[in-house]
Amino acid sequence: MSQNEVLTREYKLINPNKNVTKSRKISTNLLMVILWVVAIIIAGIMLLLR
């Protein structure tokens, strides 16, 4: 019984961590997309100014 309780506790601890990592991955992907868009806009402005 003690081993099962430990397993359930580990699952309870692991599941929210997985959700957090998923949200972190999504946020990092959004940050990368925003950085790419900003870089493209800056490159376009530089080309237009030239």
Q: pLDDT by residue (tens digit) across 1-50?
A: 577 777 666 666 666 666 667 777 778 888 899 999 999 999 999 999 98
DSSP secondary structure code for residue 34 in this structure: H
* Burial zone of 14 (CB within 10 Å; 0-12 exposed, 13-18 middle, 19+ buried): exposed
Here the tokens at position 31 are 């940050």
Rounded Cα gap, residues 21 and 42, in angstroms: 31
Give me the numbers of helices (H) and strands (E) for the chain, helices first please.
1, 0
Give the model confidence (pLDDT) of 11-25 as tens digits: 666 666 666 677 777
Q: Is the pTM of this model over 0.85?
A: no
